[in-house]
Every structure is written in C-alpha cells, then in structure tokens.
Structure 1
Amino acid sequence: MKRVVIAFMAIIVMSQVAISQQLLKEQRMDWWREARFGMFIHWGVYAIPAGIWDGRQIGGIGEWIMNRGKIPVNDYQAMARQFNPVKYDPDAWVRMAKDAGMKYIIITSKHHDGFALFESEASKWNVADHTIYGKDLLKPLAEACKKHGIKLGFYYSQAQDWVNPGGTAIRRLTKEGWANPDSVIIDAYTKEHNGHWDWRQETKTFEQYIDEVSVPQVRELLTNYGDIAVLWWDTPSGMTDEAATKLQALLALQPQIITNDRLKRPNFPGDHKTPEQRIPNLADLDGTDWETCMTMNGTWGYKSYDLNYKSPQTLIRNLIDIASKGGNFLLNVGPTAEGEFPQQSIDILAEMGKWMKVNGEAIYGTKAGPWGLFSLGRCTRKDTRNGTSLYFSVFEWPSDGKISVPGLKNGVISARLLADGKRLRTTRSKDGVLTISLPEITPDPKATVIRVDVRGKVADKIPQ
C-alpha cells in the first residue's frame, strides 16, 4: 500500500512539474507570438566572394560557397583576412527593421564556415582576431537593439563547421558548385571523409569540437551580450544526444530564451518549428508554434548577381498568410562585405513598413483565422475585452463589391477599412452569411484590410 501511495504522489509531482514547465513556456513565448514578424540576417566573410570564386559563379546559396566550391581551408582563411565592413551601421540596421514593422532580429553569429562575428576565446577564427576590421560585430548590434526596443537573437551553427577542426560537413557533390574537371576525385574523397574535402577539417574529433569550440562559444554568446531572446540552432548534422545535452544545459544562462527545433531531432524539439523557404499548408499544422524563414531573393548570404527579388506585394501577402495560420515570419537580409544592406532589400523593407504602419494590428498578437483559406485573401483574429476583432486581408478585390463570410454567429458591432477608417455596411442573410459591402476600388492593391468587430468569442474553427 505504501508503494502505491508513493507512486501516486510521484505521478502528482511529475504532473505538477509538467504543468509548471508548460506555464513557463507560455510566458517565454508570449512576446514571440505577439511579434509575428522578425528579421533574419545572414552575414559573414562569404559576402566577400559574393557567389564568385576564382572567376567562376558558384552554384547554390551564397553562404555555402566554401562547401560547394570545395575551397581549401587555407585559401578561405586567407580571403577572410580582408573582411573590413567599414560601412557597418548597426543602428541603421535596427532602425530599418523597426520601420519595416519587425519586432526581433536573428543574426548569424557563426555560420557553417565556422567564422564568428564576435570575439571568441574558443577559436581565433573570428572577426576580432582574424580580420583587418578587428572588432566584435555583435556588441554594437546588441546595444542598438536595446536602444530601439528590438529583441535580439543569435543563429549558431552548432555542429556543421568547415574550418574549426572536428566540425561536421554535409556532403555536396562538386557539380552543385561548378563543373570542376576533378569532380570524380573530389567526390570520391568527400564520400570517404563524411563530406569533408580538406584534411585540416579532420584533425580533431567531433567531441573535441563540441567541447572546445561549440560549448564555450555558446556560453560566450549567452554571457557577453545582455538579454538574448532567441538561440537559433542550425543543421544538426552528426549531433549526438550527449552533445545536445551539453549545449542545452547552457540555456540556464538565459532562462527566458526561446530555441528552435534544430539542435538535434527528434529528442530536442525546442520551442518552435522552422519551415524553410515555404509556408505550411493547413494540414501540416499540429498546434506547435512555428516560424517560416525566407529569403527576399534566392540566397541567404549576399550574392552580387542574385537580383531575383520577390516583390513587396508577395512578401506582404506571405506575412499575412503566415499570420492567418498562426505562425511567425522571419525575413532575411544578406548584407554586403562592406556592411550595407543591398538597396533592393532596403526598398522592400520600406514598402513593407508602409503597409505595416497602416495594417500592423492585423498581424501583431493575432491568432489563426477560423475559416482557413479564403479565395479572396486571409483572415486573422484577436480577442478583445468586449469580443473579437476579425481582420480580413483582401488580395483580390471582388468585382461585385461584396465579401461573404459564412457561419459567423456573433453579432456584428462594426466593420471598417484600416486604410482610411471608413465604416462599411454589413448585412446577414437568413442562412447566416454575413455580407460586407466594399468601395468600388481597393485602397491598397497589395492587401486591403477590413476590421470587423463582433460580440463574444469567435469559434476556433468555422466551416466555409
């Protein structure tokens, strides 16, 4: 009997711990769910070649040039010494993010080439010790974020590292970079050496790399830069539970920090999922927090010749689509080696900022719309003191000047355009379809938002 009581008490304690942990997570995630929109920054010495090595355009994304171009470690490090971002203005970067309506910034503190944008005692392969610039790049960014009220997070490549010995390397065939005549030899070598193409990459074990580089550098990041909102792991290639446990233990240095799902799958799920370059379908969503990360053009790190930028309209509608499904949007900028945002990115951010200044309430702090997808656009919702605010973002302006909303049983308080505050007429049919009468011409072709305030809480799911 005594054993039964002890077992019963243990179950109660475990349940209470689980509830407590869930409550703590809800508190940690509160600002993130309110924010909905953030900036990703991929920056490093790969911005110097900007997609070109030895006179050749190297295929794939810019920050992978070392791997896809099979650049020897010594050559890559020699190139990196000239990194000198004299036009770097972190205050301007943060102001551009804020003016665009973004609430947080995630920057690549160390990408897969192992180069750290911060001064590190764990490896001299960093901006302060290895370049003519000679200064930590993250400290002034942290100061600017604090000044402007923007949350700061660090991306960190915890396993894959192509310069610090012992780091892993995801194997890429030589043809993915360029038509190297020695591709057969090189590909045979990388197959035998777990993706590595230079013997210098294998002079230490993965365990040594974790203990000597990854763990101490993450400790530095969580100790030397004030409050850090997010730690964004990437590519858990070769990760072990033991290595992941060591890294996860460091999170105690920043108890409020949020992490993603890329430390080691599936045993270390983090706080949110990270669909990359895509927006999930409704069927993909399982109630877990998620964040779509996406490029403005075709690359994360700067490539001088990638000018295939998405339009502001496309990116605004992506943001709306993501919010309508309950997710966050992390939109990338790849600065130049001099430390400037490309002009195309600046222009896109400015256009998105104009839209957000008018319509931001349809994004910030909203929940997924109850109807799923509308053919004319998307819907988000927000609980209020007196009921619910529904935000209908219209992409395709109806030719008949009307929008029909099925199944809404709540009484309508008001309907108006966010663009100019104009009140809109609403009627309800006998079968419960709400009709909103619109102006003849859309105020904003990118997306016009209609706010409909209703009494009471709206159901989570309403069939169309």
Structure 2
Amino acid sequence: MDRRVFLSAASAATLAAALPVKLFAQHAEPPIEHRLPPTDADFQRSSSYIEDVPLHEYHWASERAVEAFQDLKFGLRIHWGLYSIFGRRGESWPFLTLPFSERESYNHAYQTWNPDQFDADAWMSLCQQSGLKMFAFTSKHQEGFSMFDTKTRVRQRANWTAAGGPKIEDCDLSYSIMETPFRRDVVKELTDAAHKRGIKIDLYFSHSDWYDADFRPYGWHPLQVPSSPELTARESGDGTVQEFWDKLKKRFAGQLVIVPDPTPEEVKRMVQRHRAQLTELLTNYGNIDMMCLDIFWGPKVWPEMRETIVKMRQLQPDVMLRARGIGNYGDYYTPEGFVPSSKEATRMPWFVIYPLGSSFSYESDGSKYKGTGWIVNNLVDATAKGGNFMVGVGPSGQGSFHPTAVEQLHETGKWLKVNGEGIYATRPRPGTLWSEGDNLRFTRSKDNKTIYCFLLKWPGKILSIKSVEAAQATSVKMLGYPNDLVTRWDAQQGLVVTVPEQLQQESNRPCDFAWCLKLTGAHTA
C-alpha cells in the first residue's frame, strides 16, 4: 500500500483555520495518517529513541482495515487475570507495593485457580445484546500470567521469600492458564465464540512481564538493575538519574529490589519469548482484528522490538496495532480514562478506553459503576469527534460480571437499537462542526447524505441548530419516532425544530439518556 504522508493533518488544520466554517464544511476530512499527537504521553515517553518516520519498507494495516476499525464505534475491554482472584482494583499494578511474602503468594495463586463460572458464549452474547462490535481481552497483563495455551517457557523468576532477601532462581514452566486446575485456553474459547458471532477481536498483550526475570527492568519490572535509567530511557519521566531512582522508590513503596543487569543471553531469551508469544496469538486463534500492545521497552532493545513488529505484520498484515511502545509504527492510539476535549490534531485512528467501575479489574461494589447515561454520553462524544469508545468491565475471579455492569451494558444495547444508525459506521463532520454548545453532538453518514444530531439533554419544545444549512435538512426525524418533525429556517437561529407535544412526556419518548435527530437533505459534507 502507499505510504501515508505525515503532514496531511497539519495541512488540513491550516486550511480549516483559513476558511469560514460553512465553506470548510463542503470539504472532506483529510486522509488518515499515522502520527501520534505530540501531546500524547506515550509519544513523549518514546520519541527519544523510536524514529518519527517508520522504516520505508514498513507498512501499516490496509485502508480497508482502518475503515473497518472506524466503523466499530463501541467495544468492551475485559481485564481478567490472576489479579482477579484477589478482588483488588487496579489490575496487576498493586503487585508492585505488596510485601514480599504476599508477592510470593500471588505468584503461586494460579495453582488453585478454577474459575468455573467462565462462559465464553455468555460473554459474547452479552456483547451482542449490548450493541458491542468488538472486545479486547488481556491475553497477558504485566503480571506475566498467560491466559492462553502458550508453549513458551519461563526459565527464571524472582523468589520473593528467599533467605537473605529476594533472589533470582531457575524455573521451567509456562506460567499460564493451562497449569491451573481449570486447564482451558480462555483466549481460544473467546476467539472461537467471537468468530461465530462476527464480533471483532482485540487481544491485549503486555510487552513487559513481571514474572519472567529475563524481562527486567522494563515496564516497571519489580526487579530493577543498576542500568535501569539507561535501559528504560528513564521511562518514569524526564529528570536526573537521582530523580528517576526517587520515583522508583516511591512507586515500589520503599521495596525497591536491585539485581544484576541482564546478560546478553537473558536479553536474547526475553526477545525470543516475547516474539514467540505474539506469534502464537497471531497464528493459533484465526483472524485477529487488533492487538492492544501495552508498556514500553527502552532504547537498547528497540531494534529487536521493531523486528518483532515487522514479523507480526507478516503473520497478519491487516491486524491493527495499538501504538503503545511502538510509536508511529502503530495503527491507532488509546486516550485512557478520558475522551479528548476536542477533535485531535492528528488523523491517526483512536479508541478511548475507560473503565465503567473504579478500575479495569473487577468492581464488587455496584454503586461504583458509572451508569448507562455515562456510557451513552461518552460514546456519542467520542463518535462525534471521530473516535471509538471502549468501556472497561472486569469479571470476578470466578469468571462472572457484576449484575449492575451487565444491566448498564444491556440498557446501552437497548439505546443503540434505537440510535445505532447515528453511531455505527458514521464519520465526524469536518472541522469544528462536531458540536454545537454543550448539549449537541453531530455525526454524518459516510455517503454525506445524512447528518445525525444527538441531544444530550432534552431540548423542550423548540430546538435551534445553527451549524446546519437549510439545504442540509429538508427532512428531520427523531430516531425511534415515526413522524417527521416540523421545522423552519430562520436567518439568526438557523434550523428551528419543533418537538411534538406528545414527546414532552418522558414515557412517550423513544429512549432515555440522549436522543438523535436524523437530518437529510441535498448535501451534508
């Protein structure tokens, strides 16, 4: 495929600034590019050693794959691993501050794990009923535990309770779900169930591995080394070497463990195992639509990481790669825990990831789930700005989702049955036309024949829309309501829509949370 130019978004932004809004509205959006926003924290963390422009021979996923990615709009992020057994919020991250005795217990918990409530078909049925077009699943989180049938082996690990303090010891195990009493390949069951239903698949995979001592010190590995600042390019942020160590001590709650630097043989073994596991995921589970890569390696091993990415492309050329840890080699990036406040300064595809509860792992307190209205508002907002929205819900250690989370997802599915036409496979309006005030958000059909106007608050009896021309709205409907709405054109107020008296009563409205007007006319671009 042709290489996509990196300056296209900057050129489009200049054009937009130079033209009146109405005039620019007649121009199509600039083409997709592959450049992370300069304000993105992940880009800033790696820009010192990952080349800005990828190697000439490298290619991204095809335009067809990008198009399919942009059509998705709504997805589910499922974090599930050993951390789920303990019911702690924060996925693997609390491991770093555990006392050494608890770390050792954590690492051995797999020996009794038997999540007998796990049902891949039920999980995918939940996706279907909730209007979710894809799911992301943690094949391996930072803790290093593989939720799939990996044939790779861990050769050395930390013994956290060794006499005289933590030490590296030899071992020989896969450290996977296949070594638990459960002995079922969770990734296989999920991908099979998803393929049957046409649900897109995104496999999360952490570059770092806190169980395998070969992976030290990358990605906040609990085993740090004397050369950590050099190896990781001080990934905790800019500053002096002393500031780097001070931040590590704070991160590890004073339990910082320093062991010898990895040998060349250990580095080679790390690279080979990392590459072999990614090869397994892209070989043994059919078509994989996305790989949600996470965490960074540093500058010294970037050439090996880059070679791994190239090999992934050879295995599945159209897999969409998250940019985490691979810079502009990625196909998409993920604003995490927020929806960008406006359309981004880049045309790189993006997917917001945002937990429904207090974190991405299991939330036992039903009152902590944010609600269907929160999902709907964020989904509409992200879609209007040209992105996708992925809501994060973690199952319990036994493999079931909290009833409150299920209820809120089901309610979202009911809302999408009414309003999905204005969400799925839509595109943003050009320039700043994605919104009007605080309560109006817009999308458009890909053929530019329809504008969808979402009302985040009920408008009352009269609604004025100033960013739509008369020729763009010769017909106005509310999705889920059978009759055309009465409209008129006013030079100052723009399109004035009269909302029927019948709909002023909440029980008569086609849905809750937000409402969508469908505007058709001569042109919409």
| Range into which the TM-score falls when normalised by the shorter chain | 0.7 to 0.9
**1:233: Cα distance to partner?**
0.4
Over 3 Å counting, the alpha-carbon distance change for 1:407 and 1:201 in structure 2 is farther
Aligned pair 1:447/2:522, yes or no?
no
Alpha-carbon separation, structure 2, partners of 1:407 and 1:330: 30
2:68 aligned residue (2, 10, 31): 31
Over 3 Å counting, the alpha-carbon distance change for 1:388 and 1:309 in structure 2 is same
Aligned equivalent of 2:111: 81
Aligned pair 1:332/2:332, yes or no?
no
Aligned equivalent of 2:325: 263
Contact 1:390/1:451 (<8 A) preserved: yes
Aligned equivalent of 2:380: 320
Alpha-carbon separation, structure 1, partners of 2:417 and 2:272: 46
Aligned equivalent of 1:126: 175
Contact 2:210/2:221 (<8 A) preserved: no
Over 3 Å counting, the alpha-carbon distance change for 1:200 and 1:103 in structure 2 is farther
Aligned pair 1:65/2:99, yes or no?
no
Q: CA RMSD in A?
A: 3.0
Aligned pair 1:142/2:191, yes or no?
yes
Aligned equivalent of 2:457: 396
**1:104: Cα distance to partner?**
1.0
Alpha-carbon separation, structure 2, partners of 1:349 and 1:454: 34
Aligned pair 1:436/2:497, yes or no?
yes
Aligned equivalent of 2:370: 310
Matches within 5 A, 1:374-389: 374=436, 375-384=438-447, 387-389=448-450
Task: Say which is worse superposed, 395-404 or 205-214, in terms of deviation.
Answer: 205-214
**1:261: Cα distance to partner?**
1.0
Over 3 Å counting, the alpha-carbon distance change for 1:237 and 1:382 in structure 2 is same
Aligned equivalent of 2:139: 109
Aligned equivalent of 2:281: 221
SS of aligned partner of 2:62: helix
* Structure number with higher relative contact order (C-alpha < 8 Å, ≥ 6 residues apart): 2
Over 3 Å counting, the alpha-carbon distance change for 1:71 and 1:280 in structure 2 is farther
**1:420: Cα distance to partner?**
2.0
Aligned equivalent of 2:10: none
Alpha-carbon separation, structure 2, partners of 1:378 and 1:189: 41
Which residues of structure 2 form unaligned runs of 5+? 1-54, 154-172, 223-244
Contact 2:97/2:252 (<8 A) preserved: no
**Cα deviation 1:402-438 (Å, max 9, x = unaligned):** 2333352534331111122221011112458111111
Contact 2:249/2:256 (<8 A) preserved: no
Task: Say which is worse superposed, 365-374 or 42-51, in terms of deviation.
Answer: 365-374
Equivalent pairs counted in the alignment come to: 414
Over 3 Å counting, the alpha-carbon distance change for 1:89 and 1:95 in structure 2 is same
Over 3 Å counting, the alpha-carbon distance change for 1:401 and 1:286 in structure 2 is same
SS of aligned partner of 2:310: helix
**Cα deviation 1:363-420 (Å, max 9, x = unaligned):** 0111113423223231111133xx5211111112223422333352534331111122
Alpha-carbon separation, structure 1, partners of 2:363 and 2:83: 9
Aligned equivalent of 1:359: 419
Task: Give the TM-score normalised by the residue count of structure 1.
Answer: 0.82
Aligned equivalent of 2:304: 243
Over 3 Å counting, the alpha-carbon distance change for 1:76 and 1:306 in structure 2 is farther
Contact 2:466/2:495 (<8 A) preserved: yes
**1:166: Cα distance to partner?**
2.4
**1:304: Cα distance to partner?**
3.4
Over 3 Å counting, the alpha-carbon distance change for 1:305 and 1:445 in structure 2 is closer
Aligned pair 1:280/2:345, yes or no?
no
Residue type at the aligned position of 2:116: V
Alpha-carbon separation, structure 2, partners of 1:71 and 1:246: 36
Alpha-carbon separation, structure 1, partners of 2:335 and 2:75: 15
Task: Give the TM-score normalised by the residue count of structure 2.
Answer: 0.73
Over 3 Å counting, the alpha-carbon distance change for 1:171 and 1:134 in structure 2 is closer
> Identity over the aligned pairs, expressed in percent?
26
Aligned equivalent of 1:57: none
